Chain A
């Protein structure tokens, strides 16, 4: 794990979640035709790229340290899940052209900091 990257990803995920919630409240469906929704899409893509980098770096790091009591299966589970949640969430979000599509995206984005937190906790148990 790289602490700076994990913190940055948490912040970006929270920004994306907040942005999605604003779209829900102001009733702007995600059409990818207006500036607010395009901007949100850009942030989500940036976030996903960062999560992919984290997955690669964390895998390399975890194989290079003394794992001690660390639960590897759970660690890799979260690492894969946190990368998968945004594409799946975005797909499910775009299937509903009402304000609630953005709500789906908000849920997906909010799950990212939670999983990063769990990754951090598991990483902390390495030897």
Chain B
């Protein structure tokens, strides 16, 4: 059982998975650094947006680690799911309640400020997890 699990982790971080992790890694670093600067220098300007930025950063870090096999695939599913929900909810909220977001988060406008990569990424992540989970053990 443990062998099967390690094999699955290996499959998850190989091939297209490796490219996916590269994109996740860049977003993890970018979101973490950005949110650290925002909270460290001007938190009172847009507290809600900056707290959401920090939350997004944590989700990206966890998703990167989980996809790379540091923690379980279940955590990867959870992180990608939370990420998709986050980008949809925050994206919609940033349009409907624009006043509450004086500064943008990664997920504002459904990730439009980042070429909509934040919207596509969790979908690709979930599809990849499903795809690798289906493959019979070799």
Q: Give A residues with C-beta under 8 Å from B.
A: 71, 73-74, 77, 81, 85, 88-89, 92-93, 95-96, 98, 100-101, 103-104, 106-108, 111
Contacts and interface: CB of A to CB of B under 8 A. Distances in A.
A92 B15 contact: no
26 contacts: A71-B37, A71-B41, A73-B37, A73-B40, A73-B41, A74-B34, A74-B37, A77-B33, A77-B37, A81-B29, A81-B33, A92-B18, A92-B21, A92-B22, A92-B25, A93-B22, A98-B14, A98-B15, A100-B16, A100-B17, A100-B18, A103-B19, A104-B22, A106-B19, A108-B22, A111-B26
B15 A96 contact: yes
Contacts of B17: 100
Contacts of A103: 16, 18-19, 22
Instruction: List the 10 closest pairs (A to B, CB-CB), nearest first.
Output: A103-B19, A107-B22, A104-B22, A96-B18, A100-B15, A77-B33, A73-B37, A100-B18, A100-B19, A111-B26
Interface in B14-56: 14-19, 21-23, 25-26, 29-30, 33-34, 37, 40-41
A95 B22 contact: no
Contacts of B29: 81
A107 B41 contact: no
A107 B34 CA distance: 20
Contacts, number: 49
Contacts of A104: 18-19, 22
A89 B22 contact: yes
B96 to A, nearest CB: 28
Contacts of B22: 89, 92-93, 103-104, 107-108
A77 B41 CA distance: 14
Nearest to B21: A92
